[in-house]
Amino acid sequence: MAQSHLLANRSTCARLAVGATIVRDNRIIAGGYNGSIAGGVHCIDEGCYVVDGHCIRTIHAEMNALLQCAKFGVPTQNAEIYVTHFPCLQCCKAIIQAGIKKVYYASDYKNHPYAIELFNSAEVETIKVPYDSIFEESIDDKQTHFIADLLKRLEKKGTSHEEMKSLYENAQALFSRGN
CA distance 162 to 165: 5
In 3D space, the residue among 26, 44, 25 whose CA is nearest the CA of residue 34 turns out to be: 44
Q: Which of the residues are catalytic?
A: 62
Question: What interhelical angle do 89-97 and 61-72 show, nearest 10?
Answer: 30
Amino acid at site 7: L
Rounded Cα distance, 62 and 136, in Å:
24
- Mapped onto helix, strand or coil, the DSSP state of residue 132 is coil
Residues 6+ away with beta carbon under 8 Å from 137: none
Reading phi first (left if > 0) and then psi (alpha if -120 to 50, else beta), residue 153 is in alpha
Half-sphere exposure of 74 (CA within 13 A, CB side): 18
